[in-house]
Amino acid sequence: MSSPGYKEIVHQGLWHNNSGTVQLLGLCPLLAVTTTVINGLGLGLATTLTLVTSNVIVSMIRGLVRPEVRIPVFVLIIASTVTVIELAMNAWFHELYRILGIFIPLIVTNCVIIGRAESFASKQTVDRALLDGLAMGIGFTLVLVILGGMRELFGQGTLLAQAHLMFGEAGKMLTLTILDDYRGFLLAILPPGAFIGLGLIIAGMNIINARRERTAAGKLPVVQPSKA
Amino acid sequence: MDFGNYSSPHFPVSGSVATMMRHVLFALLPGSICMTWFFGPGVVCNLVLAALTAICSEAGMLYLRGKPVRSTLADSSALVTGILLALALPPLAPWWIPVIGTLFAVIVAKQLYGGIGYNPFNPAMAGYVVLLISFPLELTLWPAPHAGLGLSDTLALVFLDTLPAGMDLDTLTMATPMDSVRTRLGLEQTIPMMQDGELFGLVGAGGWEWVNFWFLIGGLWLFKARVIQWQIPASMLCALAGMALVFYLLDPETHTSPAFQLFSGAAMLGAFFIATDPVSASTTPTGRLFYGAGIGILTYIIRHWGGYPEGIAFAVLLMNMAAPTIDYYTQPRVFGKSGDET
């Protein structure tokens, strides 16, 4: 497999092959925990950390593991990484850990992580695997944060509520109440809001992509497909 | 030669969408007038707000999608969606309730799926369910029949959230009959014990039975005008009444009579106007029977064992999901072929 350049890796992870909106992997945590920005950010960072660690380890041992047993080995590596991160979060961000609940241990089953281990890290050098984990993780985090922001704003009229869970007491300053005296739009917080929100984000990305293609092809003559 | 590869439904449909929708609007008139008579000018207020929002949002979405605005608007399908949603809403709800509901119905449930003919769910009911889930409190603002709130007082309440002096919401509103039967059954009361107040009318729920009666008349006229087929309303009402009859005969103390089930809540409105939506309903004759029966059974189940007093909206949406499968298994036999030949 040819080695992609660093810029290409970043571009793939953040936009072109974004795990949340293009690959549509890891939808369960993506839809379930994004009720607020902070929940999204917390889970996104935990996933990013897991991705980077597992990618680096998988890339380091790629010459040692026989292909027949690679999947169980990947699973073991990912499971150990997630366990470490889970214990660390339990120690340092206990309240956030309790809010995110089952979705922290469930990072193990997030298809993004084993997907990147199998399709990228096991075939690439350590530096590329690290960058790929970082780019994929940040791309995923961005989707989580944007979706969380949309749902929080429509659902309860605030942004960055409960920021102290992540940033300590100083975080309370970050909480913005955008709409005072807002009655709340429960649908946005409930699961349908997550599906509709994700659909809108994907639609937005498709619009931007289509517009880019059009400007790129603007100079060329466009052949209309015949209707026959 | 152009041999078109036409998709279902393979049945001739009489009239255009526009004439059909106009018939539906006329048929809704008697029921709407009766609702206004019982529940005051708030009904008209909801109707106007929802109709305006429906037309504006449909026009806006058509413009954004680059579709012909004027000719598509002329089919009045958005108007019908708005009106049906408004008839389901409590008359004293604040002005943004019909507006948000209609926006969701037209923009998300209808236009984002591709506009008329493409929406898998009944837009009016999708909008209603969104409101019911998101604003449970506002959706209970049903006034008692003949609560006596005048036009100006209603407008003040709807738009400015101000009540006339000496009144509060608790004196104006009351639980709908279906809601209070449900609550009182939960308190271990029996149906005969509830005969005291205004809960029951002649056969159905007080006040509501007349609303249902006039929707029934409008629906029968629609059937006579060949806008709707008989299968869905008949099978839905039969299934609802059948379920009610079985449980009523088993235990009349804790189950309301079939007549009460048919003449309260949105039973008639649902059977003739909502379940028969030509886009989201089943399209084959046999399929329509199953579709209607499914709605009837689900409605009874939700009314009796579900979390909400009325279940038409949820039942219709659930059966909308099942409609493509029902259509698939109830394809009519092609003329000239025997049944076992495939």
Could you give the percent of chain A with pLDDT greater than 90?
A: 25
- Give the CB-side neighbour count of residue B24, counting CA atoms within 13 A: 28
Distance CA B188, CA B332 (A): 49
Distance CA A188, CA B178 (A): 29
pLDDT at B304 over 90: no
Give the nearest chain A residue to B127 (CA atoms): A187
pLDDT tens figures, B2-15? 666 666 655 555 56
Tokens of B133: 């889930």
Please give the torsion angle defined by the CA atoms of residues A207, A209, A211 and A215, in that order, rounded to the nearest 10 degrees. Answer: 180
- Average pLDDT value for residue range A79-88: 91
| CB distance B108 to B118 below 8 Å | no
Let me know if residue B154 belongs to a domain: yes
pLDDT number for residue B12? 54
- Integer Rg of chain A from CA: 20
Instruction: Provide the residue ranges of all domains of chain A, joining segments of one domain with +.
Output: 6-211
pLDDT number for residue A198? 92
Nearest to B213 by CA among B256, B261, B269, B258: B269
pLDDT number for residue B2? 64
Distance CA A160, CA A168 (A): 13
pLDDT tens figures, B256-267? 888 888 888 888
pLDDT tens figures, B24-76? 999 999 999 999 988 888 899 999 999 999 999 999 999 988 888 888 888 88
pLDDT number for residue B193? 73
- Tell whether A227 is within 8 A of chain B (Cβ): no
pLDDT number for residue B103? 94
Residues of B at the A interface (Cβ-Cβ below 8 Å)?
108, 130, 133-136
pLDDT number for residue B4? 64
What's the mean pLDDT when you consider all of chain A?
84
- Nearest-Cα distance to chain B for A164, in Å, is 28
Chain mean position to CA B67: 28
pLDDT tens figures, A22-41? 888 888 888 888 888 888 88
- Chain A CB contacts of B133 under 8 Å are 186-187, 190, 192
Distance CA B160, CA B154 (A): 10
* Amino acid letter for position B91: P
pLDDT number for residue B232? 93
Any alpha helices (H) in chain A, and if so which ranges? Answer: 6-11, 27-32, 37-60, 70-92, 94-100, 111-119, 126-156, 164-167, 186-189, 191-216
- Nearest-Cα distance to chain A for B336, in Å, is 32
> What are the φ/ψ torsions at residue A158 (nearest 5 degrees)?
-125, 170
pLDDT tens figures, A187-215? 888 888 899 999 999 999 999 989 988 88
- Chain A CB contacts of B136 under 8 Å are 186
- Tell whether A196 is within 8 A of chain B (Cβ): yes
pLDDT number for residue B9? 58
Best of A156, A181, A187, A189 to substitute, by most chain B Cβ atoms within 10 angstroms, is: A187
- Chain A CB contacts of B130 under 8 Å are 187, 192
> What are the φ/ψ torsions at residue A182 (nearest 5 degrees)?
-90, 135
pLDDT at A54 over 80: yes
pLDDT tens figures, B72-127? 888 888 999 999 999 999 988 889 999 999 999 999 999 999 888 889 999 999 99
Let me know if residue B259 belongs to a domain: no
Looking at the 3D structure of chain B, how many domains does it have? Answer: 1
Read off the pLDDT band of A96 (50, 70, 90).
confident
Whether the bond between B90 and the residue before it is cis, its omega within 30 degrees of 0, is: no
pLDDT number for residue B296? 94
pLDDT number for residue A188? 86
pLDDT number for residue B7? 63
- Chain B CB contacts of A187 under 8 Å are 130, 133-134
- Nearest-Cα distance to chain B for A185, in Å, is 6
- Give the CB-side neighbour count of residue B33, counting CA atoms within 13 A: 8
| CB distance B128 to B89 below 8 Å | yes
Let me know if residue B143 belongs to a domain: yes
| CB distance B236 to B55 below 8 Å | no
Nearest to B323 by CA among B120, B128, B125, B112: B120
- Tell whether A190 is within 8 A of chain B (Cβ): yes
pLDDT tens figures, B179-235? 888 888 878 777 777 766 667 777 777 778 888 999 999 999 998 888 888 999 999
- Nearest-Cα distance to chain B for A202, in Å, is 13
Chain mean position to CA A226: 41
| CB distance B121 to B319 below 8 Å | no
Give the closest of B108, B134, B136 to A185, CB-based. Answer: B134
Chain mean position to CA A150: 16
Helix axes A37-60, A111-119, angle to 10 degrees: 30
A36's CB contacts (< 8 A; 6+ apart) are: A148, A151, A152, A160, A161, A162
pLDDT number for residue A1? 55
Beta A158-159 vs A176-177: how paired, if at all?
Answer: antiparallel
- The Cα-based distances of A133 to A8, A31, A74, A76 in angstroms read 13, 21, 14, 18
Nearest to B88 by CA among B98, B96, B79: B98
The residue ranking higher by pLDDT, B211 or A172, is B211
pLDDT number for residue B299? 93
pLDDT at B295 over 90: yes
pLDDT at B139 over 80: yes
Cβ contacts of A56-64, under 8 Å, gap ≥ 24? A56/A121, A56/A126, A56/A129, A56/A130, A56/A133, A57/A81, A58/A117, A58/A121, A58/A122, A58/A129, A59/A121, A59/A122, A59/A124, A59/A125, A59/A126, A59/A128, A59/A129, A59/A130, A60/A126, A62/A121, A62/A122, A62/A123
Residue B101 domain boundaries = 14-174
